[in-house]
Amino acid sequence: MGAPTTLTEYGVELGSALHEEVSGSEKVPRRLSPMRKIMALSLFAILTASVSFSETIEHPRNLKEEARIQSKAKQKLMWSTIALAAASFVDVHSSWGKREANPALQGANGHFGARGVGIKMGMVGGIILGQYFIVKSKPELANAAAWTNFGIAGVTAGVAARNYTITKPKYLLKAE
């Protein structure tokens, strides 16, 4: 008899890790916890950034073609910067007034407020400013910076979506 050729021959049932048994043989899809979703999005952003950094633009012989490629990369960088800023503002909106888990972003009362906004926007501004100087000195890195921004924006939007599921403390809600 030959070597096993499928995963089921090894005793691994495909999809078994993504389902849990409820009663007997009935299987129901298992939902990922918010933390696992954030970790998955972070992993996606890191992989996206590493793949895009591995791409290098070959210098074409035609200068018009090179200028066109650089122009498209810079345009992509501009749109990715807008996406990053928008995702950061949505994250701030979704976190405002709620209990903050990150001690660096907590206000005096342990909630997300003006201090957290300042730190968060300072970080985004630092990323954008750093990318500006990097792309100014090495224009071939504009594409990599753009994909990095899209990855960070995706993770930030995922965190914001999770934050919207958390309710604000009762004393911050308006009485109707």
Q: The pTM is what?
A: 0.61
Report d(CA 156, CA 2) in Å as an integer: 49
- Residue 1 within a domain: no
Q: Are 97 and 172 in contact (CB under 8 A)?
A: yes
Q: Is residue 98 part of a domain?
A: yes
| Confidence (pLDDT) at 15 | 47
Examine residue 52 and state whether it is found in any structural domain, yes or no.
yes
> Could you tell me the two tokens for 89?
């503002």
Rounded to whole angstroms, the Cα distance separating 57 from 135 reads 13
pLDDT tens digit sequence for 124-135: 999 999 999 999
134, part of any domain: yes
Residue 140: give the domain boundaries. 32-172
In a domain, 73, yes or no: yes
DSSP H helix total and E strand total for the chain: 4, 2
172 contacts: CB under 8 Å, gap ≥ 6: 97
- Is residue 16 in some structural domain? no
pLDDT tens digits, 72-123: 888 999 999 999 999 999 999 998 888 888 888 888 888 888 899 999 999 9
What is the structure's pLDDT at 153? 94
| Residue 2 is assigned to a structural domain of this protein | no
Who has greater pLDDT, 54 or 93? 93
Check residue 61 and give its pLDDT. 63
pLDDT, position 125: 93
Local structure of residue 165 (DSSP, 8 states): T
DSSP for 65-119, please give it: HHHHHHHHHHHHHHHHHHHHHHHHHHHHHHHTTSBPS-GGGB-TTSBB-HHHHHH
- pLDDT classification of 56: cutoffs 50, 70, 90: low
Query: Is residue 2 classed as helix, strand or coil in its secondary structure?
Result: coil
In a domain? residue 45: yes
Tally of structural domains, the chain: 1
